[in-house]
Amino acid sequence: MDNDFRYIELRVPAKRFESWDDFIATAPEYSIGLEVIDDTPGHRGHYVHFDHHTGVIREATMSAAMQAYIAVRQGHLMQKWLRHRCPIPVYVWNADQDVCLAAFILEYHELLERFHADPLLRWIVQFNNKIDVCGGLYPVDLDEVVRNHFTWVLEPFRQQRMQGKMQEDEALVKNTIRQVCNRLEDLLQGRAGIAPITAEPSILYTSPHGFVIADEKGDPNSRLVLAAQGHTNLISLVCARKNGRYTYSVIRGSPYDEDTFQVTKLIEAFQAAEDFPNLKIWGGSNLAAGSDSELGSSLHWTRLRDIAEPIVQEASRAPAFETRNPGRSRFRVLLVMAPEEAAKLQPVLEECGAQVSVVSSCAEASQAIRSGVPIRAIFSARRLPDGGVRDCLEMAKGCPHYLPLILCLPKIDGGWIDLLELGAFSLIVEPYRQDEVRRAIEAVEHYGTMHLAETR
């Protein structure tokens, strides 16, 4: 394969375009931008910008590669524009996995017509869409990611990421995109390899209010590992630079944590604390944001911790469950786990307005259920001295009224889906967060009401 592209010409500007007007004034007609404009995605005349960062609802916006895929397959973008200009200028600022895939789709648009139904290519594009929408914090089966060649295809990006992008790195960006495209073609020709996930991110800080600060050690696969471990809200140290500055990402893995982990408010506070507060160092969308990939942040992670903690703590002081539902009897739950484990969850349940009865074995749980005290839900550890969650599920099934069981785990492993299939209502994972526990209680109430209506 030639080193140069035939249908696209990669251009790496000296800085990101500030707006659509800036892009149109600089780029020639029939130009494409890939995550290079600090403005909304879309197309204006004979200019298009594939992006999902600025001015969007992240969870409702496709990745740049998926936008390009649909533009090529359904809109015949390259077929139409190549009649007017060849090669087509494609402006890029970095070479992350989304940009690399989008560049491949544009250059190899003819190949897509022959291989669009290839399950591995379709899987990689669709999987990239999922993880990119979630800022990398999409829960995955790590073995499947390796087995389907995703990590191997994007290994050049991983190597580039661990080096860090510096000013005047045009050759590095172009070479990374070229290498990923070469590997994607190898994938379609049956020559793909395997690249195991070796990332070992470090948790630098665990907040009692539901977020962690982690050191990715430059490896983008760290987020897949963190997601597999059950982390959802993340301040991530991507890399420390030789010049003493840092690259960070701020990610809210669940769009439904917006009341507590407020990404926009956090990056505004980080921006105000920078050494150059008038330069735009922090930016992004409602779910994923971060520091500038070239300039970087001046703030050590401990400074981010000290800024973020009071913001998230204040947001977490939402009205407790009982306060928001006045005039109702307290929600009584049975907490079944060892005393030292119950001590972690009981205060959170009580903050959410629940009345908690604590027992430490299956025998004690059975006695509590038969006592006639109205219990609305069971929160149970996976293993108990005389049994485990299976025994508690059987006890709950034997109750005359619906009694859901919420499984409480120290961490998520590969067997949690099996436990849900056994009949667990839902699960929560340490560190126990008030917003997650509150949602579990509200879900029980809602479903319990529906169940009661159905049985009448």
Cβ atoms within 10 Å, residue 305 = 16
CA distance 96 to 101: 9
Q: Determine the CATH number of domain 321-455.
A: 3.40.50.2300
Given this model, what pLDDT does residue 10 score? 96
Determine whether 10 is exposed, middle or buried from the number of CB atoms within 10 Å of its CB (0-12, 13-18, 19+).
Answer: buried
Q: How many residues does the chain have?
A: 456
202-206 vs 212-215, strand pairing mode: antiparallel
**Residue 143 CB burial class (10 angstroms; 0-12, 13-18, ≥19):** exposed
pLDDT tens series, the chain, 456 aa: 445 899 999 999 988 999 999 999 999 999 999 999 999 999 999 999 999 988 888 888 999 999 999 999 999 999 999 999 999 999 999 899 999 999 999 999 988 777 666 788 888 999 899 888 888 888 888 999 999 999 999 999 988 877 655 555 888 999 999 999 999 999 988 899 999 999 999 999 999 888 999 999 988 899 999 988 888 899 999 988 888 999 999 999 887 787 889 999 999 999 999 999 889 899 888 888 999 877 899 999 999 999 999 999 888 765 444 344 444 446 789 999 988 899 999 989 988 888 888 988 998 888 888 877 788 899 999 889 998 888 888 888 878 777 899 999 888 765 667 767 778 888 888 888 888 898 888 888 776 544 434 443
Predicted local confidence at residue 371, as pLDDT: 76
* Strand ranges across the sheet with 31-34: 8-11, 88-92, 31-34, 47-50, 42-44
| Cβ density class 399-408: b for 16+ within 10 Å, e for less | eeebbbbbbb
> Out of 3.10.310, 3.40.50, 2.60.40, 1.20.1640, which CATH number does the structure's domain 202-316 have?
3.10.310
d(CA 223, CA 201): 8
pLDDT value at position 454? Answer: 43
- Cα 35 to Cα 12: distance, rounded to the nearest angstrom: 11
Q: How far apart are CA 368 and CA 341, in angstroms?
A: 19
What is the reported pLDDT for 204? 96
Task: Identify any residues that bridge with 384 across adjacent strands, giving them in sequence order.
Answer: 387
Distance CA 200, CA 222 (A): 6
Which residues, at least 6 apart from 352, have a Cβ–Cβ distance to it below 8 Å? 320, 321, 322, 434, 437, 438, 441
Sorted by where each begins, the domain ranges of the chain are 8-188, 202-316, 321-455
Q: In whole angstroms, what is the distance from residue 293 CA to residue 167 CA?
A: 10
**Is-contact 410 388, C-beta < 8 A?**
no
Decide if 378 contacts 333 (C-beta within 8 A).
yes
Token digits of residue 206: 């665990």
Same fold, 202-316 and 321-455: no
Give the Cβ contact number of residue 236 at 10 Å.
27
**Predicted local distance difference test score (pLDDT) of residue 425:** 86
Distance CA 233, CA 87 (A): 42
How much is the pLDDT for 232?
Answer: 87
